[in-house]
Amino acid sequence: MTTRRALLGTSALLATGAGGARAQNAAPYVPPTPRPKSLTLLVGAAGGSSTDLWVRGFAPFLERHLKLVQVQVVNRVGEGGLAVMRDLADAPGDGSVLAYAMTPILLARAVERNATALLDRILLLGAVTEEPVALVAPPGMELEALRSRPDGRPLGLPPPTSASAIAAADLATSLPMEQLHFPSAAAARQAAMAGNVAAALVTVPEALVAVREEKLSLLAMAAPARHPQFPEVPTLREEGLPVEGALRRGIAAPARIAPEAAARVVRALRTAAADPEFLAQAESRGILPQFLDGQAWGKLVSQELVELRSRWETSPWQVSGG
């Protein structure tokens, strides 16, 4: 005769067996994926501009190397790019808001608008690229011919606050040519291609396509060393013209950013600048991927700021840009 106690025991064993089977067939525990944090990357240029496109092209690399961060690019136009730096200076110090910075353009804008105090409220975390300035001319033109000014045509330049125009100020005494500013580097390049100016001073990436299509020739680099993609092109210093200039692009933060947050971004910038995909993109555009930490970049900025202040006091350039 089956007792009630026996029936209960049998039921418990069956339940245990079924539970064990379910446990063996259950999926392993997977901890929830942390939700990516949001990071706002400010850019002081209009959407679709060359500056905006550069920032949006770099943002995925910053996102990749920061890890678990979603980067949102936000455009803020005004004051020749200084409005975005004012927003950055007032941003929280937790690293959630950063801004794109390019020098020496940022410095020139601050000098001409009497806003250099703003630079003390931001912190340059690191530069990731360098774009050397180059002297270009139509094929057949030689540097020696420019020195003698054979036909009086001017030297074409981008706007006065560009890296090329700033370098050209140092070139004026050694290369006695009238300097003519155009609204953009593209316009200066086009004037050189058309022969409306004897030569132009622009960055290598701005001239690269025309050089590859043999519509312009590289005469010399305004750099301390020859460009790795154009080792046959001498530097201006080698030609007896001690002039150097370059555009540097990087990231800035509020001056009050927490040290640990700043260190995290600096690490990401350093690894992004060495990312194989980033290196390949830079090479295709004639850009030199060169990481400079805040200290090294700041040292260059300090020197450039002194020079720009002195130049503004003695021979101020025309202010342009909203």
Query: Per residue in 17-26, is it b (16+ CB within 10 Å) or e — as a string?
Result: eeeeeeeeee
Other beta carbons less than 10 A from residue 255's beta carbon: 13
Other beta carbons less than 10 A from residue 240's beta carbon: 9
Instruction: Name the residue type at position 296.
Output: A
Query: Cβ(166)–Cβ(184) under 8 Å?
Result: no
Question: Which 3 state secondary structure label does DSSP give 288?
Answer: strand
pTM listed for this prediction: 0.86
Q: What is the chain's Cα-based Rg? A: 28
Query: Cβ(82)–Cβ(109) under 8 Å?
Result: yes
DSSP string, 179-206: EEE-SSHHHHHHHHHHTSSSEEEEEHHH
DSSP string, 52-90: HHHHHHHHHHHHHHH-SEEEEEEE---GGGHHHHHHHHT
Tens place of pLDDT per residue across the chain (322 aa): 444 444 444 444 334 444 444 444 556 655 554 555 899 999 999 999 999 999 999 999 999 999 989 999 999 999 999 999 999 999 999 999 999 999 999 999 999 999 999 999 999 999 999 999 999 999 999 999 898 876 789 999 999 999 999 999 988 888 888 999 999 999 999 999 999 999 999 999 999 999 999 999 999 999 999 999 999 999 999 999 999 999 999 999 999 999 999 999 999 999 999 999 999 999 999 999 999 999 999 999 999 999 999 999 999 998 876 5
Query: Cβ(158)–Cβ(184) under 8 Å?
Result: yes
The stretches of the chain forming alpha helices (DSSP H) are 4-25, 50-66, 82-89, 105-112, 143-147, 163-171, 185-194, 204-212, 259-273, 276-284, 294-314
Question: Which 3 state secondary structure label does DSSP give 103?
Answer: strand
pLDDT of residue 27: 64
Helices 294-314 and 163-171 cross at an angle (nearest 10°) of 60
The sign of the dihedral angle between the CA atoms of 163, 169, 171, 175 is positive
Domains parsed from the chain with CATH numbers: 37-130+247-314 (3.40.190.150), 132-222 (3.40.190.10)
